Structure 1
C-alpha cells in the first residue's frame, strides 16, 4: 500500500476504532457490574428509608401499608382481613401517605 495522506488517515481511523472496541469489550462488563451494585445499594437504601418511615404510622396503618405495598394485597382484601370497610382502608392509606410525604426523601413516592 502506497503511503499517501489518505491512507495514513484511514490507518489512524482504524487504529482508533480498534482501540475503542477493545476498551468497550474489556471494561463494559466491569462498568455494568459497578452500575448494578450501585443500583442495588440505592434500592436497599430506599427500602430501608421506607421501612423506617413506616414506624411513624400507627400499628394498624403500618399493617395496611405493608399489606398493600409489600404483599400487594388489594384494598378490599385488606379490609376483609382486618374487619374494616374498604373506605376505611382507603382513608388510612390516604392519611398515611400524607404522613410519609412529610419525609423529603419519600415525598415524591407518595404525593
Structure 2
C-alpha cells in the first residue's frame, strides 16, 4: 500500500489532462532532461496526500509551479510535510517560466544534479 488514495490518483490524472501553460512549458523541458540525463521526472505526481506538479522520486525532488493564487502561508504545511518525507521542494513562479524558461530549466537541472550528490 502506497498511502495514496484512489481519489488522489484520480485528481492527479485530471490535473495531467488540464495542465497550465506554464506547467506544459516546464514539462516539455523536463522530458528533454529525462531523455538527455536519464532522469525520471513525473508530472502531477501523487506523494502521500499531495500532488506535486513535478517530481523525481529517486532524487527526492519536487518542483512546484506557482501562480498568483499560491500563498506561502497556505503552502507551508505541504512544504513541511514533503520536506519531512525527505523531499527538496523547488518553487518557481509562472512569470519566471514565461519570462525565462531556459533559466528555470537550468535551475532545475542544477538542483537535480546536486540531489545526486546528497
Q: TM-score with structure 1 length normalisation?
A: 0.28
Tell me which protein shows more helix as a share of its residues. 1
Higher Cα Rg, which structure? 1
Tell me which protein shows more strand as a share of its residues. 2
